[in-house]
Structure 1
C-alpha cells in the first residue's frame, strides 16, 4: 500500500527576513533535506521547539507551501507540481485541528461543524444527519445550539475535531491541538484522537512541542531541530535509544526522577533491572501488578 505522505530530500527556503532559523545564501531555510514517510492508519508525531520547522512541515503537507527542492507527495499528489485546482482537491481530503480552535463565534456548535459541508455543497438533509452523527461521536450532542463562548477549552477543541472530520478526510493534521488545554482535558482529547484512529482508520500527523503527547498517542515520531530531522522512527526506539542530543532532552522531560550519573551506575553494578513506572491516576495495586510482571518484589 502506498504511503500517505512521502518527503524525499525536501527543503523549503524563504527570502531574507522570512520564517526559519538556518541562514542560507540570500534567505532562510525553514526545512532542510527532510526525508520520511507516513504509512496508512498510523499516528506520527512531529516534535521540536519553536522555530524547528514544524509549522512549515504542516504547510508543505497540506499544499499551502511548495518545496524549494525535493519531492512532497501527499495522498498521491505531487505538491510541488500540482495545479491550484489539484491542491484545493487535496486539502478537501485533509482535516485540520488547530491550537486556538479557529471556531466561528457567531455560529452555533452545529453551525461550525456544518460549515465545511455547506462549502462542499452538501444538501441540508445530509448536513443535518452528518452533524448530528459527529456531535454524538465527540460527546457534544447536548451543546449543538450553544455558541463557542459558552464552551470550555476542551469542548471547543471537540467542536474543532468534529469539524475536521465532517468531510470524512483521509488524513488528519493536528497542529499543537492540546497545548492550550489543562492536563485532564488534554488526556480526554488524546483519548478521542486515539478512538478516531482506531474506529475510522484515519492517518494522523500530530505537531507538538510536548513529548508527553508523543509518548501517549503516537506510533512513530519525527524530531526536528533548526529545520532538520535529527531523529525519527518507532516511538519506543526513539525514546529508548535516542540518536540526537535534542531527543535525549525531550526524553529527560518525561523521565524525571530516574537516577542519573553515579547513582545510576551504582544501581547497575548491583545487577537486576532498573524499572521506571509512570504513576499517574492509578492505584497502588496497579503499580504492584506492573512490578510483579517484571519479577520485582516490593510494596507501594
Structure 2
C-alpha cells in the first residue's frame, strides 16, 4: 500500500533561552505510514510523540528532513495549502477539546460549517455521525452533562465529520477508565475497517497499541528505537524500551526475591517465551511427557490475535523427561531452566546438566 505519511530524517530542535539550552525533541526520525493501517507511536513522556503530531498537522515545521502528508511537503507548504491539508486530517484529543457552550450536535457540526457545507447537508451528516458513534440520544445535551467516554465519542464524531483520510489520536484514551477505553478502541477499529481511514495513535499505554495497532513505532528521547509489524516488535523486541513495555504486561522472567520464593515450592522452574509457541502448545508437550506442572509466574497478552509473553512453569518429573521437554521446547522458542544462580540476576539453560551454562536475563 502507498504511504500516506512519510518522514525522512526529520529533526525538530527548539532554540534555547537564557535559562535553558536548545532541545532536540525529534531526532533523525524516518517513518512511513501505509494507507489504511493503524499505527501506534508509543513512548514515555519526553519521547517526542507530541512534537511529532504537531509536525504531521503542520503546527510545527521540521528543523531538517522532510515531512510529507498525503503528498504535501508540510515543511515548505503555504498556509493556504496547510489549511486544506488539515481538512483531510482529523484530530482526537486527550482532553476532548469540546465547546462547552455548544450542544453535542453543534460541536459535531462545527467543522462542517467551517468547510462550507449547507444546512441540509450538515443536518444529515451530523445525524449519521451521532448514530455511528452511539450517542444519537445526546444530540441536544451540553458536554458538562456527558461522561468522559461520551465526550470522546463526540470528539471522534467531530474528527471524522469531513471524511478525513487520516485520523490522529493523541493520547485519546488516557483520561478514560478501562471499560470506556475498550469501547473507544472498538469504535476506532470500526472507523478503520468500515471507513478505510488511516489512524495514527500517539500513546504511552502498551495496552492500547497491542489491542489496536498493526504497526508500531517505539520512541525514546526523540529517536525511533524499534518499529515494524506489531507482533514482531513485541514478540521479538530489538530495544530495551520495547522489552520494558512488554514486561509491564507479561511480568517477564522471575529474578531476585521473586525467584527465591518460587524455588521454595520445589520442582523444576522452566521459564518459556510464548511467541513462536502458544501456552496450549507448551501444555500439550508437558502432558505428553507426563510431567505434572503449573504456571507460577508471568503472563501473556494478544497482539493481532496471537499470544506473546513469558510463562514460568513449576514442573515435577524425572531428569530424563525434563531434558526431553527442554530440548523439544527449545527447538521452537527460548526456554530457561532457572537455578539458584538466577536469584542473583541470571538464568541457566539446561545444557547437558551443566549448572555453569548460564546466560543473562534481559532486564
Residue 267 (structure 1) shift? 1.0
Per the alignment, residue 155 of structure 1 pairs with: 150
- Taking the TM superposition and a 5 Å limit, the aligned residue runs for 1:13-162 are 13-17=13-17, 27-162=22-157
After TM superposition, the score normalised by the length of structure 2 is 0.71
- Taking the TM superposition and a 5 Å limit, the aligned residue runs for 1:154-193 are 154-193=149-188
The count of aligned residue pairs is: 270
Q: What CA deviation, in whole Å up to 9, does each residue of 1:42-94 have, x standing for no partner? A: 00001111111000000011111111101110000001111111111111100
Is the CA contact 1:17–1:28 (under 8 Å) kept in the aligned structure 2?
Answer: no
Q: What CA deviation, in whole Å up to 9, does each residue of 1:209-262 have, x standing for no partner? A: 000000100001111111111111111111011111111111111113x54357
Is the CA contact 1:268–1:274 (under 8 Å) kept in the aligned structure 2?
Answer: no
How far apart in 2 are the matches of 1:187 and 1:103? 21
Question: C-alpha root-mean-square deviation of aligned residues, in Å?
Answer: 2.1
Residue 266 (structure 1) shift? 3.8
Runs of 4+ residues over 6 Å off in structure 1: 262-265
Per the alignment, residue 3 of structure 1 pairs with: 3
Is the CA contact 2:25–2:48 (under 8 Å) kept in the aligned structure 1?
Answer: yes
Per the alignment, residue 260 of structure 1 pairs with: 254
Residue 112 (structure 1) shift? 0.2
Taking a change above 3 Å as real, the CA distance of residues 44 and 17 of structure 1, as seen in their structure-2 partners, is farther
How far apart in 2 are the matches of 1:194 and 1:273? 27
How far apart in 2 are the matches of 1:38 and 1:273? 30
- Taking the TM superposition and a 5 Å limit, the aligned residue runs for 1:208-247 are 208-247=203-242
How far apart in 2 are the matches of 1:277 and 1:50? 26
How far apart in 1 are the matches of 2:233 and 2:3? 21
After TM superposition, the score normalised by the length of structure 1 is 0.86
Is the CA contact 2:216–2:229 (under 8 Å) kept in the aligned structure 1?
Answer: yes
Higher relative contact order (CA 8 A, sep 6+): 1
Q: Which structure 1 segments of 5+ residues have no match?
A: 280-300
Secondary structure at 1:114's aligned position in 2?
helix
Q: Which structure 2 segments of 5+ residues have no match?
A: 280-298, 303-363
Larger radius of gyration between Structure 1 and Structure 2: 2
How far apart in 1 are the matches of 2:277 and 2:45? 37
How far apart in 2 are the matches of 1:136 and 1:227? 40
